[in-house]
Protein backbone atom coordinates (compact mmCIF):
# COMPACT_ATOMS: atom_id res chain seq x y z
CA UNK A 1 0.00 0.00 0.00
CA UNK A 2 1.37 3.38 -0.93
CA UNK A 3 1.86 5.94 1.81
CA UNK A 4 0.62 9.52 1.74
CA UNK A 5 3.10 11.59 -0.18
CA UNK A 6 4.50 14.69 1.50
CA UNK A 7 4.06 18.04 -0.16
CA UNK A 8 0.65 19.60 -0.74
CA UNK A 9 1.37 22.92 -2.41
CA UNK A 10 1.87 23.02 -6.16
CA UNK A 11 2.51 25.66 -8.77
CA UNK A 12 -0.68 27.19 -10.11
CA UNK A 13 -1.16 28.45 -13.67
CA UNK A 14 0.17 31.88 -12.70
CA UNK A 15 3.24 30.38 -11.03
CA UNK A 16 1.90 31.00 -7.54
CA UNK A 17 1.21 28.40 -4.87
CA UNK A 18 -1.86 26.23 -5.39
CA UNK A 19 -2.82 24.09 -2.39
CA UNK A 20 -4.56 20.79 -2.81
CA UNK A 21 -8.22 20.96 -1.78
CA UNK A 22 -10.57 18.40 -0.22
CA UNK A 23 -14.36 18.78 0.17
CA UNK A 24 -16.36 16.50 2.48
CA UNK A 25 -20.14 16.63 2.00
CA UNK A 26 -22.24 15.58 5.01
CA UNK A 27 -25.92 15.43 5.86
CA UNK A 28 -25.93 16.84 9.41
CA UNK A 29 -23.62 18.54 11.91
CA UNK A 30 -21.71 15.76 13.74
CA UNK A 31 -21.47 13.51 10.64
CA UNK A 32 -18.16 15.14 9.74
CA UNK A 33 -16.73 14.10 13.12
CA UNK A 34 -17.90 10.48 13.01
CA UNK A 35 -16.87 9.83 9.40
CA UNK A 36 -13.48 10.87 8.05
CA UNK A 37 -12.54 13.34 10.78
CA UNK A 38 -9.06 11.95 11.40
CA UNK A 39 -8.44 11.94 7.65
CA UNK A 40 -9.38 15.61 7.40
CA UNK A 41 -7.24 16.55 10.41
CA UNK A 42 -4.30 14.67 8.91
CA UNK A 43 -4.61 16.49 5.59
CA UNK A 44 -5.04 19.86 7.30
CA UNK A 45 -1.77 19.20 9.14
CA UNK A 46 -0.17 18.43 5.77
CA UNK A 47 -1.29 21.79 4.34
CA UNK A 48 -4.35 20.67 2.37
CA UNK A 49 -7.32 23.06 2.35
CA UNK A 50 -10.38 21.20 3.66
CA UNK A 51 -14.00 22.30 3.43
CA UNK A 52 -16.89 20.52 5.14
CA UNK A 53 -20.25 21.11 3.47
CA UNK A 54 -23.21 20.43 5.79
CA UNK A 55 -26.49 19.93 3.96
CA UNK A 56 -28.92 20.47 6.86
CA UNK A 57 -28.95 22.03 10.31
CA UNK A 58 -29.85 18.85 12.14
CA UNK A 59 -32.99 20.52 13.48
CA UNK A 60 -34.90 17.26 13.83
CA UNK A 61 -32.13 15.28 15.46
CA UNK A 62 -32.73 13.64 18.82
CA UNK A 63 -30.70 14.58 21.89
CA UNK A 64 -28.55 11.49 22.44
CA UNK A 65 -26.53 12.68 25.43
CA UNK A 66 -28.64 12.46 28.63
CA UNK A 67 -26.69 15.33 30.18
CA UNK A 68 -27.92 17.65 27.41
CA UNK A 69 -31.54 16.53 27.44
CA UNK A 70 -32.96 19.76 28.82
CA UNK A 71 -36.03 21.79 27.75
CA UNK A 72 -34.09 24.93 26.84
CA UNK A 73 -31.82 22.92 24.53
CA UNK A 74 -34.71 21.09 22.89
CA UNK A 75 -36.42 24.42 22.27
CA UNK A 76 -33.47 25.80 20.31
CA UNK A 77 -31.79 22.65 19.02
CA UNK A 78 -30.90 24.16 15.64
CA UNK A 79 -28.89 27.00 17.20
CA UNK A 80 -27.27 24.64 19.67
CA UNK A 81 -26.13 22.32 16.92
CA UNK A 82 -24.83 25.27 14.90
CA UNK A 83 -22.65 26.26 17.87
CA UNK A 84 -21.48 22.66 18.28
CA UNK A 85 -20.48 22.59 14.61
CA UNK A 86 -18.46 25.77 15.07
CA UNK A 87 -16.47 24.14 17.88
CA UNK A 88 -15.92 20.93 15.91
CA UNK A 89 -14.64 22.68 12.79
CA UNK A 90 -12.21 24.70 14.91
CA UNK A 91 -10.86 21.51 16.48
CA UNK A 92 -10.44 19.85 13.06
CA UNK A 93 -8.97 22.98 11.48
CA UNK A 94 -11.39 22.89 8.57
CA UNK A 95 -13.60 25.44 6.89
CA UNK A 96 -17.31 24.73 6.86
CA UNK A 97 -20.28 25.77 4.73
CA UNK A 98 -24.01 25.28 5.35
CA UNK A 99 -26.22 24.47 2.38
CA UNK A 100 -29.24 25.61 4.39
CA UNK A 101 -31.69 22.74 3.94
CA UNK A 102 -34.00 21.50 6.69
CA UNK A 103 -33.34 18.19 8.44
CA UNK A 104 -35.78 15.46 7.35
CA UNK A 105 -35.68 13.52 10.61
CA UNK A 106 -35.40 9.75 10.76
CA UNK A 107 -38.81 8.15 10.11
CA UNK A 108 -39.64 5.28 12.44
CA UNK A 109 -42.62 2.99 12.79
CA UNK A 110 -44.59 0.48 10.74
CA UNK A 111 -45.78 1.77 8.40
CA UNK A 112 -43.21 4.55 8.17
CA UNK A 113 -44.68 8.04 8.49
CA UNK A 114 -44.34 10.46 5.56
CA UNK A 115 -41.40 12.83 5.58
CA UNK A 116 -42.19 16.40 6.68
CA UNK A 117 -43.00 18.90 3.96
CA UNK A 118 -40.09 21.11 2.92
CA UNK A 119 -37.38 18.81 4.24
CA UNK A 120 -34.09 18.12 2.47
CA UNK A 121 -34.96 14.58 1.37
CA UNK A 122 -38.04 15.80 -0.51
CA UNK A 123 -36.31 18.60 -2.42
CA UNK A 124 -36.08 18.05 -6.20
CA UNK A 125 -32.60 16.91 -7.19
CA UNK A 126 -31.68 20.07 -9.09
CA UNK A 127 -32.96 22.33 -6.30
CA UNK A 128 -30.97 20.41 -3.71
CA UNK A 129 -27.86 20.18 -5.90
CA UNK A 130 -27.56 23.77 -7.13
CA UNK A 131 -26.07 25.22 -3.92
CA UNK A 132 -23.58 22.34 -3.76
CA UNK A 133 -22.58 22.88 -7.39
CA UNK A 134 -22.05 26.53 -6.49
CA UNK A 135 -19.93 25.55 -3.48
CA UNK A 136 -17.82 23.19 -5.62
CA UNK A 137 -17.20 25.91 -8.19
CA UNK A 138 -16.24 28.40 -5.51
CA UNK A 139 -13.96 26.11 -3.45
CA UNK A 140 -12.59 24.15 -6.45
CA UNK A 141 -11.85 20.84 -4.71
CA UNK A 142 -9.64 18.21 -6.27
CA UNK A 143 -11.28 15.48 -4.17
CA UNK A 144 -14.82 15.06 -2.82
CA UNK A 145 -16.01 12.72 -0.05
CA UNK A 146 -19.60 11.58 0.45
CA UNK A 147 -21.74 8.53 1.31
CA UNK A 148 -22.69 5.58 -0.88
CA UNK A 149 -26.11 5.22 -2.51
CA UNK A 150 -27.62 3.81 0.68
CA UNK A 151 -26.29 6.68 2.73
CA UNK A 152 -23.96 4.52 4.80
CA UNK A 153 -27.15 3.79 6.71
CA UNK A 154 -30.66 4.44 5.44
CA UNK A 155 -31.34 7.93 6.78
CA UNK A 156 -33.20 9.88 4.08
CA UNK A 157 -30.85 12.85 4.42
CA UNK A 158 -27.80 10.62 3.97
CA UNK A 159 -29.28 9.11 0.83
CA UNK A 160 -30.08 12.61 -0.48
CA UNK A 161 -26.55 13.73 0.40
CA UNK A 162 -25.20 10.96 -1.81
CA UNK A 163 -27.47 12.00 -4.67
CA UNK A 164 -26.55 15.69 -4.59
CA UNK A 165 -22.84 14.91 -4.18
CA UNK A 166 -22.80 12.69 -7.27
CA UNK A 167 -24.83 15.26 -9.19
CA UNK A 168 -22.44 18.06 -8.20
CA UNK A 169 -19.35 16.00 -9.05
CA UNK A 170 -20.72 15.25 -12.51
CA UNK A 171 -22.24 18.67 -13.23
CA UNK A 172 -19.84 21.23 -11.73
CA UNK A 173 -17.41 21.01 -14.65
CA UNK A 174 -20.09 21.38 -17.32
CA UNK A 175 -20.74 25.02 -18.30
CA UNK A 176 -24.15 24.09 -19.72
CA UNK A 177 -25.40 22.73 -16.40
CA UNK A 178 -26.33 25.07 -13.57
CA UNK A 179 -25.13 28.05 -15.66
CA UNK A 180 -25.89 30.57 -12.91
CA UNK A 181 -23.88 28.75 -10.24
CA UNK A 182 -20.42 30.11 -11.05
CA UNK A 183 -17.48 29.27 -13.27
CA UNK A 184 -17.16 25.54 -14.04
CA UNK A 185 -14.77 23.40 -12.02
CA UNK A 186 -14.29 19.64 -12.35
CA UNK A 187 -13.23 17.69 -9.24
CA UNK A 188 -10.95 14.80 -10.07
CA UNK A 189 -11.94 12.08 -7.59
CA UNK A 190 -15.06 11.12 -5.62
CA UNK A 191 -14.93 8.75 -2.65
CA UNK A 192 -17.50 7.03 -0.45
CA UNK A 193 -16.87 6.67 3.28
CA UNK A 194 -16.29 3.08 4.43
CA UNK A 195 -15.97 3.95 8.11
CA UNK A 196 -18.11 1.13 9.49
CA UNK A 197 -16.95 -1.74 7.30
CA UNK A 198 -17.45 -5.27 8.58
CA UNK A 199 -13.70 -5.97 8.47
CA UNK A 200 -12.94 -2.96 10.67
CA UNK A 201 -15.61 -3.82 13.24
CA UNK A 202 -14.41 -7.43 13.43
CA UNK A 203 -10.78 -6.29 13.83
CA UNK A 204 -11.64 -3.91 16.66
CA UNK A 205 -13.80 -6.56 18.31
CA UNK A 206 -10.96 -9.10 18.18
CA UNK A 207 -8.46 -6.56 19.50
CA UNK A 208 -10.66 -5.77 22.49
CA UNK A 209 -11.05 -9.43 23.35
CA UNK A 210 -7.31 -10.03 22.94
CA UNK A 211 -6.66 -7.16 25.36
CA UNK A 212 -9.04 -8.73 27.88
CA UNK A 213 -11.54 -5.88 27.51
CA UNK A 214 -15.28 -6.05 26.95
CA UNK A 215 -16.05 -5.42 23.27
CA UNK A 216 -18.92 -3.04 22.50
CA UNK A 217 -19.52 -4.73 19.15
CA UNK A 218 -21.38 -7.93 20.10
CA UNK A 219 -24.81 -6.63 19.05
CA UNK A 220 -23.39 -4.93 15.97
CA UNK A 221 -21.77 -8.16 14.78
CA UNK A 222 -24.93 -10.15 15.54
CA UNK A 223 -26.87 -7.73 13.36
CA UNK A 224 -24.59 -7.94 10.32
CA UNK A 225 -26.82 -10.50 8.62
CA UNK A 226 -30.02 -8.56 9.31
CA UNK A 227 -28.52 -5.27 8.14
CA UNK A 228 -26.75 -6.46 5.00
CA UNK A 229 -29.61 -5.58 2.63
CA UNK A 230 -29.76 -2.03 4.04
CA UNK A 231 -26.12 -1.28 3.31
CA UNK A 232 -24.25 -0.93 0.04
CA UNK A 233 -21.49 -3.42 -0.63
CA UNK A 234 -18.42 -1.57 -1.85
CA UNK A 235 -14.83 -2.70 -1.57
CA UNK A 236 -12.31 -0.61 0.30
CA UNK A 237 -9.92 0.83 -2.27
CA UNK A 238 -8.18 3.46 -0.17
CA UNK A 239 -6.85 3.38 3.38
CA UNK A 240 -5.57 6.69 4.74
CA UNK A 241 -3.11 6.34 7.66
CA UNK A 242 -4.34 8.79 10.31
CA UNK A 243 -4.00 7.10 13.72
CA UNK A 244 -2.11 10.10 15.08
CA UNK A 245 -5.31 12.13 14.64
CA UNK A 246 -7.80 9.80 16.36
CA UNK A 247 -7.62 11.96 19.49
CA UNK A 248 -8.46 15.04 17.40
CA UNK A 249 -11.39 13.15 15.89
CA UNK A 250 -12.69 12.30 19.36
CA UNK A 251 -12.43 15.89 20.55
CA UNK A 252 -14.43 16.99 17.51
CA UNK A 253 -17.04 14.33 18.26
CA UNK A 254 -17.34 15.52 21.86
CA UNK A 255 -17.95 19.06 20.61
CA UNK A 256 -21.31 17.77 19.37
CA UNK A 257 -22.51 17.44 22.96
CA UNK A 258 -26.20 16.94 22.14
CA UNK A 259 -25.36 13.97 19.94
CA UNK A 260 -22.42 12.31 21.68
CA UNK A 261 -22.47 10.87 25.18
CA UNK A 262 -18.89 10.99 26.52
CA UNK A 263 -19.66 7.79 28.44
CA UNK A 264 -21.23 6.13 25.43
CA UNK A 265 -20.46 3.73 22.63
CA UNK A 266 -18.00 5.88 20.65
CA UNK A 267 -15.32 5.86 23.35
CA UNK A 268 -15.35 2.28 24.64
CA UNK A 269 -12.35 1.17 22.56
CA UNK A 270 -9.13 2.74 23.91
CA UNK A 271 -7.18 4.78 21.39
CA UNK A 272 -4.09 2.59 21.70
CA UNK A 273 -6.20 -0.45 20.79
CA UNK A 274 -7.68 1.38 17.80
CA UNK A 275 -4.29 2.55 16.58
CA UNK A 276 -2.87 -0.96 16.75
CA UNK A 277 -5.86 -2.80 15.28
CA UNK A 278 -6.98 -0.37 12.56
CA UNK A 279 -4.80 2.74 12.06
CA UNK A 280 -6.58 3.98 8.92
CA UNK A 281 -9.84 5.53 7.76
CA UNK A 282 -11.16 3.80 4.69
CA UNK A 283 -12.86 4.76 1.44
CA UNK A 284 -14.18 3.44 -1.83
CA UNK A 285 -13.00 5.27 -4.97
CA UNK A 286 -16.29 5.80 -6.82
CA UNK A 287 -15.15 8.15 -9.61
CA UNK A 288 -11.70 9.09 -10.87
CA UNK A 289 -10.62 11.29 -13.75
CA UNK A 290 -6.93 10.62 -13.10
CA UNK A 291 -4.83 7.50 -13.39
CA UNK A 292 -4.36 5.76 -10.06
CA UNK A 293 -3.73 2.24 -8.83
CA UNK A 294 -5.67 0.59 -6.03
CA UNK A 295 -5.18 -0.07 -3.24
CA UNK A 296 -4.30 3.54 -2.43
CA UNK A 297 -2.95 5.16 0.73
CA UNK A 298 -3.67 8.73 -0.35
CA UNK A 299 -6.88 10.41 -1.48
CA UNK A 300 -4.75 12.56 -3.79
CA UNK A 301 -2.97 9.65 -5.49
CA UNK A 302 -2.82 10.47 -9.19
CA UNK A 303 -3.76 14.07 -8.49
CA UNK A 304 -0.44 15.14 -7.02
CA UNK A 305 1.25 13.99 -10.21
CA UNK A 306 -1.31 15.78 -12.42
CA UNK A 307 -1.57 19.03 -10.48
CA UNK A 308 1.94 19.33 -9.11
CA UNK A 309 4.00 18.58 -12.22
Contact, 58 vs 104, CB < 8 A? no
Rounded Cα distance between 202 and 217, Å, is 8
Which amino acids are annotated as binding site, given as ranges? 28, 31, 158
Rounded Cα distance between 158 and 12, Å, is 35
Which amino acids are annotated as binding site for Zn(2+), given as ranges? 28, 31, 158
Amino acid sequence: MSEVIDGTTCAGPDGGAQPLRLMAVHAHPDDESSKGAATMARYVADGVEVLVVTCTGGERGDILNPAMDRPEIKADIGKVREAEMARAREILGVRQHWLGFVDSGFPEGDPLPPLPEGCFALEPLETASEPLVRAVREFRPHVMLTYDEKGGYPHPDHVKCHEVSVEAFEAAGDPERYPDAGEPWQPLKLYYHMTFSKDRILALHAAMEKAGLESPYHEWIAGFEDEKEKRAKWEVTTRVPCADFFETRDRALLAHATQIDPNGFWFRVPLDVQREAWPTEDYHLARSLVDTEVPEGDLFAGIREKVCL
